[in-house]
Amino acid sequence: MSNHLDELYNRRLNRYVTAMRNGQPDRVPVRPLAAEITAKYAGFTCQEVTHDYRKAFEAVIRCCKDFAWDAAVPNMVYVWTGLTQAAGLRYYGVPGIDVGPDVAFQYREPDEQGAFMKREEYDELIADPTRFLYETWLPRVSGDACAKGQPVSYRNNLSLVKGAMATLAYFQAFGPQVERMRTECGTPSAICGMLKAPLDVLADKLRGYLGLAFDLMEIPDKVLAACQAMMPHLGYLALTGADPAKQVPIPIWMHRGCTPFISKEHFRTIYWPTLRPIVDALWAQGNQVLFYAEGKWDGHLETFAELPAASIVYHIDRSDPALVHRILGKKFCLSGGVPNTLMAFASPEEVKAHCRRLIETIGAEGGYILDASAILQNDATVENLRAMTDAALEYGVYRSPSSPSGKAAPEPAGTAAGLPLWATAPRPQPGVCIPWEEKLKELPPICGDPDIPRRIWDEIEGLAYLYIWHLLLSF
């Protein structure tokens, strides 16, 4: 990497991290979570960047080279439909197959009767979430996987092998993509890892929203127990993908916990008690979480304010930026607040004017990152994307940069296995599907070093574990 790009990268990363720690950098960072808009800029269709992640990567590189972004997501389209088809997943509308080639991929949520988890199966999920995903959930979401009791088929075996190999290839491609962003563009990665709230996972991929809504009213204890059972797994999964340098935040994509999806009572008794321990455990390891708060979360801002200072970055979607700033701005960095309708339908001058107001109000003292309210798809215009970027350069310069004002990241509290959140799980531990102790009963007495086969067993188990949980969470 040239000295110029090296210096540019370090300057941008410092600017981004300083803002996320609620300090005042030299300038307001701009960090668009740009998805299909990158395809539009690069001259690709939605079909191309969704079905061929190499083109999605290339679209991001072209944007990073041509826009002065301080951080970007290596691939915000993220759901690679080549992988989802390899695994046989049925819940996506694929561009160029199920929808038009210039339409973003669609998630097709089943109705209550077609939910991927039945109400009577809560106890099975609670007892062993990983086994439930493989034995019950996967055959329902995959058109190729065989259900329990059915003869194993050729297509079943192919879907497992192809899905797992595709996942491994895709995830291993992100490292080189991040390096390309650094060495070719001087642009840091904006996020690292993946997290969702347990209740959101229940609503998104297991019971469906309608099924969950009835469950919350009729069997709330089962819902709580299921969220508690998944909580250590989701925390563990988030930590496995976290930034080793602990500079880039882990994003949590927040869906169904806001008004009007669930009541404040269910938020207080189920949603938050099974999400906050994960956030606290990640912060204890020195990892910030980006609260990508999709929708309107005004009724819960006071609750978020109870989190440790600088432990999160709060992203503004449909909430009033001034209200969010008043309640959260003293403790946390804020991002977003530029409506996607503005990015799609307004003039570049209107976009710049709105960005300027945000910079001069909620960003006046630092701790602010300029971005659209929601993920940018191909309905946004390239001209408005450039206008938002230019606004940060023109209006976002601070006269007296300062160090981060929020609490610095705490010293790591130990390894993932040593954290109370997942170390005390009463069921099979996160990270494995079949515990070594169970496998050991099938083997003859081990001679030599007994730690060698156990270590290798656990490493390979970890791959199978990550596969099924990432199918649930990421795809």
State pLDDT tens for residues 157-210: 999 999 999 999 999 999 999 999 999 999 999 999 999 999 999 999 999 999
Is the sign of the CA dihedral 298, 300, 302, 308 positive or negative?
negative
pLDDT of the residue at 421: 59
Task: Delineate the domains of the chain, giving CATH numbers in brackets.
Answer: 3-473 (3.20.20.210)
pLDDT of the residue at 260: 85
* Contact predicate 124/117, CB 8 Å: no
What is the mean pLDDT of the segment spanning 336-351? 98
pLDDT digits (tens, 9 = 90+) for 213-227: 999 999 999 999 999
Say whether pLDDT at 336 is over 80: yes
**What tokens does 177 get?**
């993509």
C-alpha 66/C-alpha 72 separation (Å) is 12
* Contact predicate 197/237, CB 8 Å: no
Say whether pLDDT at 417 is over 90: no
Which residues are within 8 A (CB) of 203 and not within 5 positions of it... i.e. 6 or more apart? Answer: 209, 212, 255, 256, 261
C-alpha 427/C-alpha 19 separation (Å) is 40
Residue 423 pairs in a beta bridge with none
Percent of the chain topping pLDDT 70: 95
pLDDT of the residue at 337: 98
**What tokens does 179 get?**
């390096």
**C-alpha Rg value of the chain to the nearest Å:** 22
The DSSP secondary-structure symbol of 331 reads T
Say whether pLDDT at 59 is over 70: yes
Residue type, 243: D
Say whether pLDDT at 241 is over 90: yes
The separation between the first and the last C-alpha atoms of the chain, rounded to the nearest angstrom, is: 34
C-alpha 271/C-alpha 295 separation (Å) is 16
| Arithmetic mean of pLDDT over the chain | 94
Say whether pLDDT at 414 is over 50: no
pLDDT digits (tens, 9 = 90+) for 273-308: 999 999 999 999 999 999 999 999 999 999 999 999
pLDDT of the residue at 423: 56
pLDDT category at 99 given cuts 50, 70, 90 is very high
Rounded to two decimals, the pTM is 0.94
Say whether pLDDT at 410 is over 50: yes
C-alpha 470/C-alpha 464 separation (Å) is 10
pLDDT of the residue at 426: 61
